[in-house]
Amino acid sequence: MFAAMAAPVNNPDHGFCRDCLTFQRSQTRRCERCGSPRLARHPELYRLHLAHIDCDAFYAAIEKRDNPALKDKPLIIGGGKRGVVSTACYIARIQGVRSAMPMFKALEACPEAVVISPNMEKYVRVGREVRAMMQALTPLVEPLSIDEAFLDLAGTERLHGLPPAVVLARFALAVEKEIGITVSAGLSYCKFLAKIASDFRKPRGFSVIGEAEAVGFLAVQPVTMIWGVGKAFNATLERDGIRTIGQLQQMDRGDLMRRYGTMGDRLFRLSRGEDVRRVDPYQDAKSVSAETTFDTDIASLDELVAVLRGLSEKVSARLKKSGIAGRTVVLKLKTQDFKLRTRNRQLNDPTRLADRIFQ
Ligand SMILES: [Mg+2]
């Protein structure tokens, strides 16, 4: 289909249709060929090659695919008496259900929701299928989790006969057709902005953030959009009167570093849209974990210690199975009121021994 429409890819005025994948010569709001409103246009559309792809409501989308009766129902994947929401479908999200929300709260917000407990084996399988399709586009695929990855499509134009932007759109259509779930894609010149872009118009989104607009775009965004600014650090910034990325853009590097150490340097660079991190396909599996949720509160240390021993053995078994070892042991504890506490300890040498992890 595309070959027939010899690509005017050097003309940035020419967008393309994300449904029939034809180039658009005019500036109409709908596709000249198929009438779809899903047109991609951007001055840098054919120059950018760094992408972030994220599946939409991944677990929920898979369950809906496998049971069409759920299609128009609010669906929550999660469970257990004490469980939290793993994924909510978009119908449930409209009613206020969010990931990581305690189940009882989710059901308060959306009492008619269908709840399914996660089938991780199935999700891992589908995640691998999606990843294999990504790896057919470029060897530079860096997974961030089961359902999202960075892709560097630089230099793939000859292989595909298409610019990266169109390859991405074609990929999204192929995933829908072959796997039966949807994805959102972000395209930019760096990882930081590609990831932000993919989150923009979910589901079935396709967003582009170009180099020329990066600083202006970032200026009006909240500091929490910066990778590494979590709740605690955001509170620190807020105490200092800093809320927007634009405020960071006005500060100089020395000042930021004096105030916030190495994080200050990151704030300086990312606030200006400077991110030189490369897509690294070997970054897979950075942690191995095991966890459990109690049906009732446990206050006895002896009981908790026994549970921790079991979890340490599980982690050890998983490390051994993957032939790897870990150096940082992290313990997470969620309290009755769903507050999360974490503690971590660095070992001198990597280990996979249950006893060492437990200690
Ligand atoms: Mg996702």
| pLDDT tens per residue across span 217-273 | 999 999 999 988 989 999 999 999 999 999 999 999 999 999 999 999 999 999 999
Q: Tens of pLDDT along 85-132?
A: 999 999 999 999 999 899 999 999 999 999 999 998 999 999 999 999
Average pLDDT, the chain: 91
Res. 163: pLDDT tops 80? yes
- The count of residues in the chain is 359
Separation in Å, CA 356 to CA 309, 318, 323: 10, 15, 17
**Model confidence at 207, in pLDDT bands (50, 70, 90)?**
very high
- Ligand 1 centroid–CA 92 distance in Å is 15
**Model confidence at 137, in pLDDT bands (50, 70, 90)?**
very high
Q: What is the DSSP letter of 36?
A: -
Instruction: Give the span between the Cα atoms of 345 and 351, in whole angstroms.
Output: 12
Structure tokens at 264: 């200050």
Q: Which residues pair with 187 in a beta bridge?
A: 51, 208
Give the residue among 71, 186, 75, 175 at the shortest CA–CA distance from 126.
175
Q: Which residues surround ligand 1, an ion (CB under 5 A)?
A: 54-55, 58, 147
Instruction: Give the span between the Cα atoms of 235 and 240, in whole angstroms.
Output: 9
- Ligand 1 centroid–CA 147 distance in Å is 5
Instruction: Give the span between the Cα atoms of 182 and 157, in whole angstroms.
Output: 24
pLDDT at residue 5, rounded to an integer: 46
Cβ atoms of 163 and 156 closer than 8 Å: no
Catalytic residue, chosen from 63, 112, 148, 176, is: 148
- Ligand 1 centroid–CA 354 distance in Å is 32
Q: Tens of pLDDT along 258-291?
A: 999 999 999 999 999 999 999 988 765 568 888 8
- Ligand 1 centroid–CA 55 distance in Å is 4
| 137: CB partners within 8 A, 6+ apart | 151, 153, 156, 160, 167, 171
Cβ atoms of 63 and 55 closer than 8 Å: no
- Ligand 1 centroid–CA 247 distance in Å is 30
Structure tokens at 300: 């006895």
Q: Is 213 a catalytic site residue?
A: no
- Ligand 1 centroid–CA 54 distance in Å is 5
pLDDT at residue 82, rounded to an integer: 64
Cis omega (within 30 of 0) on the bond before 203? yes
Instruction: Give the span between the Cα atoms of 164 and 81, in whole angstroms.
Output: 46
Rg of the chain (C-alpha set) = 23
pLDDT at residue 312, rounded to an integer: 93
Domains and CATH numbers, the chain: 16-56+122-208 (3.30.70.270), 58-121 (3.40.1170.60), 214-271 (1.10.150.20), 301-358 (3.30.1490.100)
- Beta strands 148-152 and 50-55 are antiparallel
Quickly tell me which residue has 């990778």 as its tokens: 227
